[in-house]
Structure 1
Amino acid sequence: MKASRIILPLAAAALAAVFTATVAAAPAIDMPKRKSGLWEIKMTMKGQETIARPAAQHCIDEKSDDLMRQSGKGDTQCTQKDMRRDGNRLVIHSVCKFGQSTATSEMVFTGKFDSDYRADIHTKYEPPMMGMKEANMLIEAKWTGACKPGMKPGDVIVPGMPAGMPSINMNEIMKRQQ
């Protein structure tokens, strides 16, 4: 198996973790709640080479969505956390430390959140993180219905993950970070 087939999903998962931590660490400003059920989440990395990952599937309920929002409360890794509404847009600006890198992010969310949403994210890393100086990510999410049989709230299925790791549970990850 090519190393890139393993590295790309892991890099996408790492960037998703940075995104999740940054959103969770933002001050509470009536962040819209997502509808319980199965969400299809497509991430596209934009840049010199646009990389579209197959859509991940994330099973959520109100408790798991609240847990993701609460996980960043009191987080000292972020020195700046600003969130504001701009019409139908939600704009988040943050400066956070991840390991040796400082990530400065600008995120713009649009959508209904009960059926779909979109996030345009631009992040600069100093020094570069995993070899990246900056990342431009587009996240498009849509609610598809009830979670699949066998999935529990917090489960995320990411196509292309290494064998033996078909899904991760974000609830367990968030609880460990508290």
Structure 2
Amino acid sequence: MTRQLALLGSAVCLVLSAGAASAVDLPIRKAGLWEMKMVRTGGPMPEITMQHCTDETTDKEMSAAASPMAKEVCSKQDIQKTATGYVSDSVCSVAGMTMQSHAEIVGDFNSAYTVKSTSHAEGGAAGSRDTTMTIEAKWLGACKSDQKAGDIIMPGGMKMNVKDMEKLKGLLPKQK
């Protein structure tokens, strides 16, 4: 479970950098159940597949919530539209670790999209490391009857709601 939370933390950092207010806003995903497969190299985390139930309001709220949080921890956050999708570049610092990230996002946000990111981290307990992460997201259909917008279902059935992530903000160390 700790590994799942650590990987989710990595995904949250990506969302913070990609979902923050910037030169260009990413499109809102189609409402419903999205499967998100994350493959990461350069670290001990295994491939993980999770499901995310969303709607237009929740996607907008995630971007709005990420923006102030990202402003506190990111010195650079930039998204630009390209001929094939979007490119995001960010520099964020949390708990004595600074991470530089570059992500390329392609897809239509209605049926599928892919995020390929590379990052370099310095500081913190892990020292220096380079990682790559690919998120392949595909729309599965309507959310299940026991799901509400914002629910993330991790492998093993652990469920959390992204709307509760704002509560985690208080757990982050204050930046100096």
> As a proportion of its length, which structure holds more helix?
2
SS of residue paired to 1:10: helix
- The Cα of 1:33 is off from its aligned counterpart by 1.1
**TM-score normalised by length of structure 2:** 0.86
Q: Is structure 2 residue 119 aligned with structure 1 residue 145?
A: no
Q: Structure 2 CA distance, aligned partners of 1:129 and 1:20?
A: 23
Q: Calculate the TM-score normalised by the size of structure 1.
A: 0.85
Structure-2 residue corresponding to 1:41? 36
CA distance in 2, matches of 1:69, 1:143: 19
Q: Is the contact made by 1:109 and 1:118 (CA closer than 8 Å) also made in structure 2?
A: yes
Distance 1:67 1:93 in 2: 21
**Could you say which residue in structure 1 is the equivalent of 2:54?**
60
Counting only pairs closer than 5 Å after superposition, residues 1-178 of structure 1 correspond to structure 2 as 6-27=1-22, 29-47=24-42, 51-53=46-48, 55-74=49-68, 75-128=71-124, 130=126, 133-160=129-156, 166-174=158-166, 177=169
Contiguous gaps of at least 5 residues in structure 2: 171-176
Q: Helix, strand or coil for the counterpart of 1:34?
A: coil
- How far residue 135 of structure 1 moved from its aligned partner, in angstroms, is 1.8
Q: Which runs of 5 or more structure 1 residues have no equivalent in the other structure?
A: 1-5
Gap change, CA 1:24 and 1:174, over 3 Å in 2: farther
How far is 1:94 from its partner?
A: 0.3
